[in-house]
A and B are shown apart, each in its own frame.
Chain A
Amino acid sequence: MGDLVWILVSAMLVNNFTLSLFLGLCPFMGVSARVATAVRMGAANLFVLVITSMTAWVLNTYVLASAPYLRLISFIVVIASLVQVVEIAIKKISPTLFRELGIFLPLITTNCAILGLAIFQTNRGYGFLEGLFFAIGAGLGLTLALVLMASIREQSELATVPALARGMGLVLIIAGSLSLAFMGFAGLFST
């Protein structure tokens, strides 16, 4: 049990996907202008991450053991079709949620955090439960980073930023400072 908690906290804080592994930067830069959107994007990501983790485990265990060089291709195809299926299912079951997630859901396919999770999970040889906790931690970490970023950006709209720094330059420097703060978690577990 301790191991599982460690995996969760490590993926969430110490090795935060966005701020220390640079995964999922597209939504981090693209949809972090409002807190409400950021939360929804984070939740959608968490959802897809958990499903991906389970699928990757099934693929690794039952299909890819004999053909590891097909891993990348099969992961990307399965993830893409899975997101498609999830999208159709949500559309049928809860149109409200579907409208709220909007374009974010299909875009998650091209988010490197998802493929990254599947690959990391494989490289580290996680079992089913470990992978599940890893995915939840990673998803919570992404959400945390998105929400923090969105809150800072909402505040900075009221500030008088020099014209030079408006746009991506400022966002990247804020991201750098956040990442610096997250480096502080590195000492949380000394193993």
Chain B
Amino acid sequence: MQLLGLCPALAVTNTVANSLAMGLATFFVLVGSSLLVSTFKNVIPNEVRISAYILIIATFVTVADLLLAALVPDIHKALGAFIALIVVNCMILGRQEAFASKRPVGRALLDAVGTGTGFIIALLMMGGIREVLGYGTFLGWPLFGSSYEPWIVMILPPGGFFTLGFILLAFSWRAGRKQERPQVRDWPHGVGVTTRRSA
């Protein structure tokens, strides 16, 4: 689990339905832009490649935005500006720069499908935890009896930070048990630049 694409992961995952919509939209944008970028990789000049990628991504995000507005207006309203913010999701740009711009179309497509599926799974995990604890429901179905007192904090912003924090703690605990590096990835912010966090 890499810590890319964090903003949407925290902002919209207060219910499973929202997480799924966000995950699918990101998946669509990622696959579409990987396909285009790897198709045109020989045409795009090296100097303006980042701008070209961003343009391609922004086009797909606009398509996804309009599609969601037409198909599921309620969810589109709940996600609000965060659909548009898929453009600046570092994960998508990162895949274009690191993978799709150097590989044949088929491989780029597979990579995008893999990364996108992983992102959907991560979002669903967050959304599942937050909806079950925060509303006591799963996809709107009540799970517990009427005596269940919902943890309101889980659907508020702090709940997002806490959920992700605890998921990361669980991952690093598991990694530590396997005698591997008990360390989550360095935080790459932006494109191709990795700075080291102080531990």
B139 within 8 A of A: no
Total number of B residues with any Cβ neighbor in A under 8 Å: 52
Residues A107 and B85 in contact, CB atoms below 8 Å apart: no
Known: A33-B198, A112-B88. A73 touches B59 (CB 8 A): yes
A95 within 8 A of B: no
Q: C-beta contact mask, A134-167 vs B, less than 8 Å → 1, else 0?
A: 0000000000000000000000010000011111
The residues of A that contact B166 with a CB separation of less than 8 Å are 169, 173
CB distance from A125 to the nearest CB of B (A): 14
Q: Which of B3, B59, B153, B197 has the most CB of A within 10 A?
A: B197
Q: Which of A103, A115, A163, A167 has the most CB of B within 10 A?
A: A167
The residues of B that contact A86 with a CB separation of less than 8 Å are none
Q: C-beta contact mask, B165-180 vs A, less than 8 Å → 1, else 0?
A: 1101100110010000
Known: A168-B168, A176-B158. A77 touches B187 (CB 8 A): no
A22 within 8 A of B: yes
CA gap between A27 and B158 in the complex, in Å = 18
Residues B162 and A176 in contact, CB atoms below 8 Å apart: yes
CA gap between A88 and B8 in the complex, in Å = 31
Which stretch of A47-55, A57-65, A116-124 is in the interface?
A116-124
Residues A116 and B165 in contact, CB atoms below 8 Å apart: no
A80 within 8 A of B: yes
Taking Cβ atoms with an 8 Å cutoff, the residues of B that contact A are 3, 6-8, 10-11, 51, 54-55, 58-59, 61-62, 65-66, 80-81, 84-85, 87-90, 93, 153, 156-162, 164-166, 168-169, 172-173, 176, 182-184, 187, 189-191, 193, 195, 197-199
